Structure 1
Amino acid sequence: MPKDTTGFTMGIEEEYLIVDPQTREQDSAAARVLPRAQRVLGEQIQPELQLSQVESTSPVCHTLAEIRQSLIQQRRSLIEATAAINKKLAASATHPFSHWSGQRVHPKERYQSLLHEFQQLAREQGIQGCHVHVGPPGQALAAIFSRLRSWLTPLLALSANSPFWLGEDSGYASFRTEVWMRWPLSGPPPAFASLEEYRELVQSLVAVKGIEDATKIYWDLRLSERYPTIECRVADVCLTIDEAVMIAGLTRALVRACYEQSLLDAPFPIVHQDLLRASHWRAARYGLEGDLVDVNTREIIPAPELVERLMTFVRPALEADGDWDEVSGLVRQTLQQGNGACRQRAVYQRTGDMHALVDFIINETARGVL
């Protein structure tokens, strides 16, 4: 592993669906898939809430090349493990037509506890996200956190990959976001003046039984309890490895840019949480195909323009890590060909066939892997 020259480490988590190749329905086969994949990658492969879901977790990475290699290894391992039992792997943040009532919650104690506590919300939780961890140097977590939260909207728009729900076009680019926003302590986080203020709120929430512990905070941005990282949870799981690498690179660059701002004590707007929620709703609704909110300037602008503002903000950080050419190229490609939601809709509009759509998702999941 190359020497870390920046101090900004990365990790990425992806959640996937197990699919039956005949019916194209979700398949509760995790108990047979996990041991096969874990023989290759150990604890990098984990269960998820439902038995038709699995999760991959990368090791600590220092470069985008390491992130890409980890994603290739994990997707390959899971694709081979599902194929061994005649199943398929699908990277879509919602299944186009499977119904939540046909899914079973994993028997693991943590997930049974979630089912007991959250009831219907847990039963309907058939959604898949992409979480990126970034480990910044020093003790600047709170300052980075409060700056970073205003840049989450374009990440959501670029990653949106869940237009269908229960066999219907939801009208959203990321319907996963709308399903997820029903959970307590989900969505955009509040701003914090200090790390102590963050910890005090968490302690108060635990004290009043608002949450069982800090791992039950589900904001789109949070401080990890297991690692000294900022965890960005706003993105849908991406169809392809290229898009996941793009989201990882942008997230690290955002953390670095916000860190360097904090060192200069540069002023920044404290954006109200409800304005962030309105901004995220538009990104979930329209993705890259409508007007989005720049919460820093309080403007409605076309999605590509907001993405361009993001790229201007993070360019020095991307260049410092040697990532500008790769990430800017992947962003340009996404704007040209569309995010996952655009491409899923195009397939269904062309074929009118949900089975063909699931086949497309399966093939995109494996692109660049095998």
Structure 2
Amino acid sequence: MTATTLGVEEEFHLVDPATGALVASQQVAAAAVMGQAGPHVQPEISQTQLETATGVCTTLAEVRAELLATRREAVAAAQAAGLTVLAASTHPSAAPEDLVLTDAPRYRVMVQRWAGLATGQDICGTHVHVGVDDLNTAVHVMDRARPWLPLLLAMTGSSPFHDGADTGYDSWRTLWWSRWPVSGPPEALGDAAGYRAVVASLVASGMVPDGSQLYWDLRPSTHVPTVEFRMGDVCTDLDDVVLHAALCRSLVAVLARDEAPAPVVRPEVLRAARWKAARAGLTGELLDPVTAELVPARAAVDALLALVAEDLDARGDLDEVRGLTDQLLARGTSAVRQRQVLARTGDPGAVVRDLLELGGTAG
């Protein structure tokens, strides 16, 4: 049955726990490549990064427990080299020049294909997989979820700084990632045949070898029966990851049952909504996916909760999700907190230390 299962992947930066500096570790990267960094820890393209993947979950309690366990597993893998992991989409003060490529065939092929796009990849993200019955269901959901993706992004912002400077964005990662020609919100695809036709055309163009290298904000997985939400920043606070996963799953459940035609949204408008969400997160106005008008962020979030409330209630998750949402709206995203810490201390190192403490990765 669609949307009964979910799993979460998180990407982290490797940092020195004493100084907060970004550190490339061949030792940690090699262990991850060889599957020796832990059963849920995987390598990433840079030796300054690690990725984790939860098991398949059916309840939010399982999601929370799995996330806590996988974060601890990543910390343990990093501690083997005297390091720890940082749960934020960009490092507050590191520069792209600090990156060192992970030595694995997959990443060498990516660099050969993407050149400087791959070698400058100093951003981390959160991916949520939600189980679907088949590819037609995945595409059906994707076509109807497109207007909601910017709002989900706005609730996760954790990348206000890049290369030591305040970018003015809650999610600079979104702008950085937008340089890739296979990123961003996909166009409406119609059905499985439409998706396969697009993939075949992109393969024929030489851009990608297969669907696994389509880095859209939302895509069907090529290796498990899920639809994968990829637009989120890394949520520093575990509560925010749980909230993000819950909303993604219930959105899939609701939209899978929606028999109305998919909403027609111009790509220019969707890109503008995505930019707006990355720019100010929950501190400004967002595009209401129902009315296509700018509204206060709270109103946009309320519209999403209204859409998924019945599904959340049926799962017994409604009170928890409402509580997590109120908490997020009251305190703001990780990006808001990072700026507050920097304004209070004037010290980027203090920002890193706060992120480590908040993310439970201080080691």
So what's the TM-score if we normalise by structure 2?
0.95
1:30 and 1:54 in contact (8 A); partners too:
no
Match in the other structure for 2:171: 174
Residue 31 of structure 1: how far off its partner (Å):
2.9
Match in the other structure for 1:133: 129
Match in the other structure for 2:117: 121
- The one of 304, 313, 316 equivalent to 2:307 is 313
Residue 101 of structure 1: how far off its partner (Å):
0.8
Secondary structure (helix, strand or coil) at the match of 2:121 reads: coil
1:223 matched to 2:217: no
Residue 33 of structure 1: how far off its partner (Å):
6.5
Match in the other structure for 1:145: 142
1:34 and 1:45 in contact (8 A); partners too:
no
Higher mean C-alpha displacement, 25-34 vs 240-249 = 25-34
Match in the other structure for 1:93: 89
| CA distance, structure 2, for counterparts of residue 255 and residue 30 of structure 1 | 39
Match in the other structure for 1:48: 44
2:90 and 2:161 in contact (8 A); partners too:
yes
| CA distance, structure 1, for counterparts of residue 266 and residue 3 of structure 2 | 30
State the one-letter code of the partner of 1:247.
H
Identity, in percent, stands at 40
5+ residue gaps, structure 1: none
1:157 and 1:284 in contact (8 A); partners too:
yes
2:156 and 2:232 in contact (8 A); partners too:
yes
1:45 and 1:54 in contact (8 A); partners too:
yes
| CA distance, structure 2, for counterparts of residue 173 and residue 306 of structure 1 | 17
1:302 matched to 2:324: no
1:237 matched to 2:208: no
1:79 and 1:366 in contact (8 A); partners too:
no
Secondary structure (helix, strand or coil) at the match of 2:257 reads: helix
Secondary structure (helix, strand or coil) at the match of 1:366 reads: coil
**Residues matched between the structures, number:** 361
- Structure 2 matches for 1:321-336, cutoff 5 A? 321-336=315-330
| CA distance, structure 2, for counterparts of residue 365 and residue 355 of structure 1 | 15
Secondary structure (helix, strand or coil) at the match of 2:202 reads: helix
1:146 and 1:270 in contact (8 A); partners too:
no
| CA distance, structure 2, for counterparts of residue 288 and residue 107 of structure 1 | 39
Residue 8 of structure 1: how far off its partner (Å):
2.1
| CA distance, structure 2, for counterparts of residue 236 and residue 46 of structure 1 | 18
So what's the TM-score if we normalise by structure 1?
0.93
- The one of 337, 342, 345 equivalent to 1:343 is 337
Q: CA RMSD in A?
A: 1.9
State the one-letter code of the partner of 2:354.
F
| CA distance, structure 2, for counterparts of residue 191 and residue 219 of structure 1 | 12
| CA distance, structure 2, for counterparts of residue 79 and residue 298 of structure 1 | 42
| CA distance, structure 1, for counterparts of residue 206 and residue 153 of structure 2 | 30
Residues 218 and 7 of structure 1, relative CA distance in 2, 3 Å threshold: closer
Residue 351 of structure 1: how far off its partner (Å):
0.6
- Structure 2 matches for 1:150-299, cutoff 5 A? 150-261=147-258, 265-299=259-293
Residue 136 of structure 1: how far off its partner (Å):
2.2
Higher mean C-alpha displacement, 82-91 vs 327-336 = 82-91
| CA distance, structure 1, for counterparts of residue 50 and residue 250 of structure 2 | 28
Residues 294 and 157 of structure 1, relative CA distance in 2, 3 Å threshold: same
